Amino acid sequence: MAPKFELKTPKGTKDWDGKDMVIRDKIFSTITEVFKRHGGVTIDTPVFELKEVLTGKYGEDSKLIYDLADQGGELCSLRYDLTVPFARYLAMNRDIQNIRRYHIAKVYRRDQPAMTKGRMREFYQCDFDIAGSYDAMIPDAEIIKVATQIFDKLGWKGTYTIKLNHRKILDGIFQVCGVPEDKIRTISSAVDKLDKLPWADVRKEMTLEKGLAEDVADRIGEWVVLKGKKDLLVKLRADEKLAANESMKQGMDDMELLLRYLEKWKALDSVSFDLSLARGLDYYTGVIYEIVTEGSAPATIEGEPAPKQKKKKKGPKGEDDDRSDDPSVGVGSVAAGGRYDNLVGMFSGKGQIPCVGISFGVDRIFSITKARMAADKSHEQVRNTEVDVFVMAFGGKGFTGLLEERMEVVDMLWDSEIKSEISYKVKPKLPQQFKQAEVNKVPFAVILGEDELAERKVKIKEMGLLEGHPEKDGVLVLIDDLVKELKKRLQRKKELDDVARVAEGLKVVHGIKGDKKEEASVAAAAPADPLVPKVEEVASALAEEGKLADGAAPESAAEKLAGPTEAS
C-alpha cells in the first residue's frame, strides 16, 4: 500500500528537526531576549490575509505571492512578509498610536529556492518595528542598536556590516544628476543590484533597458560607488548642487543625527554609509539598511558578470531547481529594513502612523551559524533532548525488570519537575538502558537494584566521571532523599559547566558560539567541558580499574558500564 506519489515536502520547504531545531531555537531566544530588552511586545497575525491586503504592496515581486484556492468565500493569500500585516493591524486598531512590536513567524514566497543557503519558499522572519510619531531618528537609531546587540550576542562581532542609506539622499542624487521624476524608482532598483552586479552591468540596465541618458548614468555612477561614515556626509555637503537640493538636505540632516546617535550607542563601528544601497520595496520613505556578512554576496561578485541562471523547470520534481550550488547566488542579507511612514495610511485612508523596522532572516543566520559550527565541530556537542536523569534497573537471575518501581521513581522526579525517562520495556537489559542514556547524552542515571530497594535506597551515577572522582562508582541514597540529592548534583553540574566555560575563555553566548577560533561548546552540552569527561573516557577508566568483563572489546561504552552485574 505504498503511496503513488513521491514522498517529500513541497518545493522550497523542509522539515526542521534534531540539532537544527535546537540551534534555531537558540537563535530565536537570543533575538527575542534583545527585542524584549528594548521593550518589544509581540503580536501574531494569521498566516493568510485577504488578497486585497497584499495587492499593490510589493511591486514586481507580487508574482511571488501564494494564493489560496477559491473554495467559496473570501479570496486569500499567504503573507509575503510581516510588515504589511503589521500595517494592516495598526490601521484596524486605531487606539494603538505607538507600539514596539516584534513578530517571529513564517512568510511565503514562490521564488527559486537555494536551500542550503537558507533561501526558501517558506522561511522565518524576525521583525522588530517601532511605530509612532517621535522626534527624528531616535527610534531609527534604536533599531540599529537592536541589530548590533543581536549579532554581537550571536558572537558575530566584527564579522558583519550594516549598510546604511537614506531614500531622500538617493532621490536627491538622482534629481541632481538629471533623472526624470518618473524614472526615479526604477533607476533606484537598478542601483540596488550593485551588490550582485558590477557597475558596467547596472549602467547597461539603466541606459539600454530603462532608457536613461548615458551622461546621467555616468553622473550617478560617480556617487553610488561611494562608502564611508561621517566623511561621506561631509563630502556630500561639500557639493554645492547636492547641498541645494531639498530632498538631499532632509536626508543629510537625518543622517547626521543618526550617525551621532549611533556613536552614543557605540553602534558605529559596523556601520557603512553606502550610497549603492537602495532596497527594492517601494514603501520605504527614509533611512534604509541591510546587514551583510561573509557569504552574503555571490561568489562571483568580484570577478566576471554572474553566469546566467539555469532556466526554471516546471513540474512535480521541483526540488531539482534548488540553486544551492549556483555560485551566482549568495546567502543575501541577514537583516534589512528601513523607515516606512506611509504604509499604514494605505490601509487606514487617513491617520498615518510613521514606522521604522527591521527584519532578521533567521534561516540565513541559521545556515551561517551551522556552517561555522560544522567547521569547528561544535555542532557535534549539541544535545537534542534535555533529559537529565535516566531511571534504570538491573538484577540477577529471575530479574523482573522492576517496572513498577521504576515507574514510581520516575513519577517522583517528574512531579519534582526533573526531566527524566525510563525504558518502555517491562524487562530491559542494563546495557540497553545505558546505551539509551548515552545516545542522548543524559548526564545522570538513577539505578534500581532489588537489594538496594529492600533498604529503600537507589544509586545515583553521574555519567562520565573521571577516575579518582569520589562518586565515580555512583552513590547510594535513600529514596526519600533522591530528589534533593539529584537537584544538588544537577545544580553543581550546571555551575561546573559554567565555570569551565569561563575558565576556557569560551565565548558561549546563550548556547551559541560565534567565534571560529575558540573551542566550541553549547550551553546544553556538557561533554566539551574539561571537568566533565565523555562517557567513553569513563569506560576506559573503568577498564583500567579492571572492573569490566575481561578481554573482549565491548561494542560501546554503554556495554562496558553495564559491568558484571548485568541481567541478560
Window 300-319: residues binding its own copies (CB under 8 A):
314-316, 318
**Cell 553540574 belongs to residue:** 493
H or E, element range at 444: strand 444-449
Query: Which residues in the 378-417 window bind its own copies by CB under 8 A?
Result: 384-387, 403-404, 407-408, 411, 414-415, 417
CA distance 95 to 518: 50
Distance from C-alpha of 567 to C-alpha of 523, rounded to nearest angstrom: 36
Record the cell numbers describing residue 17, joined without a space: 528537526
Cβ(178)–Cβ(221) below 8 Å: no
11: cell is 518545493
Helix axes 184-191, 214-224, angle to 10 degrees: 50
Query: Shortest Cβ distance from residue 96 to its own copies (Å)?
Result: 8
Selected from 23, 27, 30, 33, the binder of its own copies by CB under 8 A is: 33
Residue 114 per-residue DSSP state = B
State the binding string over 60-99 for its own copies (x if CB under 8 A, else -).
------xxxxxxxxx-x-x---------xx-xxx------
- 18 binds its own copies per the rule CB under 8 A: yes
Q: Considering only 4-12, 203-211, 484-492, 497-505, which stretch makes contact with its own copies by CB under 8 A?
A: 4-12
Q: Which one of 50, 234, 499, 502 is in contact with its own copies (CB under 8 A)?
A: 50
Smallest distance from its own copies to CB 227, Å: 26
| Subset of residues 212 to 231 that bind its own copies, contact rule: CB under 8 A | none
Cα dihedral 155, 266, 279, 230, rounded to 10, equals -140
Residues 255-284 that bind its own copies (CB under 8 A): 261, 264-266
Helix extents (H) in 178-301: 184-191, 199-204, 214-224, 230-238, 240-244, 246-264
The answer for residues whose C-beta is within 8 angstroms of residue 136's C-beta and 6 or more apart is 253, 254, 257
Residue of 28, 59, 61, 106 interacting with its own copies (CB under 8 A): 106
Q: In angstroms, what is the minimal distance from the CB of 251 to its own copies? A: 19
Binding segment for its own copies among 271-279, 322-330, 371-379, 420-428 (CB under 8 A)? Answer: 420-428
Q: Which of residues 330-389 bind its own copies (CB under 8 A)?
A: 345-350, 384-387
Three-class SS state of 159: coil
x/- map, 431-470, its own copies, by CB under 8 A:
---------x------------------------------
Residues within window 125-184 making contact with its own copies, judged by CB under 8 A = 130, 132, 134-135, 138-139, 145, 149
Half-sphere exposure (Cβ direction) of 147: Cα atoms closer than 13 Å: 35
CB of 43 to its own copies, least distance (A): 4
Q: What is the largest CA-CA distance in the chain?
A: 97
| Candidate residues 41, 375, 466, 502; the one interacting with its own copies per rule CB under 8 A | 41
